[in-house]
Amino acid sequence: MANLKILLISALMVPAVLYGQATNAIVAGVRHAIDSEIMGREIEYRVHLPANYDRGLNRYPVLYITDGGEHFFLASGTTEFMGSQFVIPELIVVAIFHQDRKHDLTPTHCTATNDGFESDGLKVSGGGEKFLQFIEKELIPGIERDYRTAPYRILSGHSLGGLFAMYAYLTRNDLFNAFIAMDPALNWDHHLCERMLKTSTFRSPNLTSKLYMSSAHNAPYGERDRSPFRLSQDSFFRELKAKQVPNTRHEYFEDQNHMTVPYESLYKGLRFIFPGFYILDDPQFALEVPFVEAFYEKQSGLYGIAFTPPERLMEMLGNYFLYDVNDYHQSKTFFEFNTAHYPNSSGAFECLAKAYEAMGDTVNASLSLEKALEVKR
């Protein structure tokens, strides 16, 4: 089994971006804008769809991430890679842009830092609650109207975006199934979020959604981090633990600073949200269509999302039987699964044609190739 998994993993190393490309164009995402009544201005956002979005009818969880100008390619690239390797489900990414992040991402109006310094740049602060209302009442309904979304939402943010994510965790816990706060600025307004947590002044009755928080090293390397960010993060998480809030994780990245920590944070945060999703880690893994179907059926029950075994995974397993062990009938069962579940994929019918050809069934091989050409048109 160990050698088999090495072989299968090596097969996965074919770049996903080349998989099933119908044209020479590589599209990372599409720009959209909402003329927001709540915010009183236009707000830009960009949407990245999974590679398999147009090949089937699956619905996908959605990752909403703030600071779209900085993090759109981070989020789309990370989720595309992780989804293509079956580590997490494929995700729709919605990256939100800001005209002034100091306004949009701060929950309260506060012009003074915790040490008393008055900052002119913070005079616009305090728009976080209204911005959260925009996401709740305008953005999310639009995304769920226009795309095939699953009932599973994740909110992620970095720095002030992490503060915003934590504020949403406390005040709209049931709006998202999971939150990722990357080196959040929890020192904001004299530890606002911690004060809310201690006094139970947040609106969410139960903090049941998953929360992942990362801490970067914001002190000179080699020195203990006693920065305002680290102290506020540690203090907040201690309060979470004291209240025995479930489904939380706090992870330290001592080899990353504030600006470099988002990449590892997002990867590790998504792994935390979807533990056990990587099928090749299952100790009972079996090269059978019924096992693969049962595995994803179990994942569907865990997350309340109807997961279909990925087309690329089933193709990979089918190719193993077709080319490596010459079990053509078994390869056909995997390829037939793909033609049934991904009827808009010409590649699925091309693979099935190869299996029929190997079996000597030229009639069905020709029919499958005709279907592949029909789908391509």
Strand partners, 252: 215
CATH architecture of 16-275: 3-Layer(aba) Sandwich (3.40)
Q: What is the pLDDT of residue 291?
A: 97
Whether the domain at 16-275 and the domain at 281-376 fall into the same CATH topology: no
Q: What is the pLDDT of residue 10?
A: 53
Q: Give yes or no for a contact between 96 and 139, defined as CB atoms under 8 angstroms apart.
A: yes
Q: What is the pLDDT of residue 4?
A: 54
Closest CA to 305 of 89, 64, 143: 89
Strand partners, 181: 157, 213
- The set of residues, in sequence order, having a beta carbon less than 8 Å from that of 258 and lying 6+ positions away, is 159, 183, 216, 218, 229
Q: What is the pLDDT of residue 16?
A: 45
- The set of residues, in sequence order, having a beta carbon less than 8 Å from that of 296 and lying 6+ positions away, is 279, 307, 308, 309
Q: What is the pLDDT of residue 314?
A: 96
Q: Domain locations in the chain? A: 16-275, 281-376
Q: What is the pLDDT of residue 18?
A: 37
Q: What is the pLDDT of residue 204?
A: 67
Per CATH, the number for 281-376 is 1.25.40.10
Compute the chain's Rg from CA coordinates: 23
Q: What is the pLDDT of residue 15?
A: 44
- Output phi, psi for 374, to 5 deg: -65, -40
Q: Give yes or no for a contact between 84 and 13, defined as CB atoms under 8 angstroms apart.
A: no
Strand partners, 149: 60
Q: pLDDT digit of tens for each residue in the chain (377 aa)?
A: 555 555 555 554 444 443 434 456 666 788 999 999 999 999 999 999 998 888 778 899 999 999 999 999 999 999 999 999 999 999 999 999 999 999 999 999 988 766 666 677 788 899 999 999 999 999 999 999 999 999 999 999 999 999 999 999 999 999 999 999 999 999 999 999 999 998 876 666 789 999 999 999 999 988 999 999 999 999 999 999 998 999 999 999 999 999 999 999 999 999 999 999 999 999 999 999 999 999 999 999 999 999 999 999 999 999 999 999 999 999 999 999 999 999 989 999 999 999 999 999 999 999 999 999 998 87
Q: Give yes or no for a contact between 215 and 230, defined as CB atoms under 8 angstroms apart.
A: yes
d(CA 87, CA 79): 9
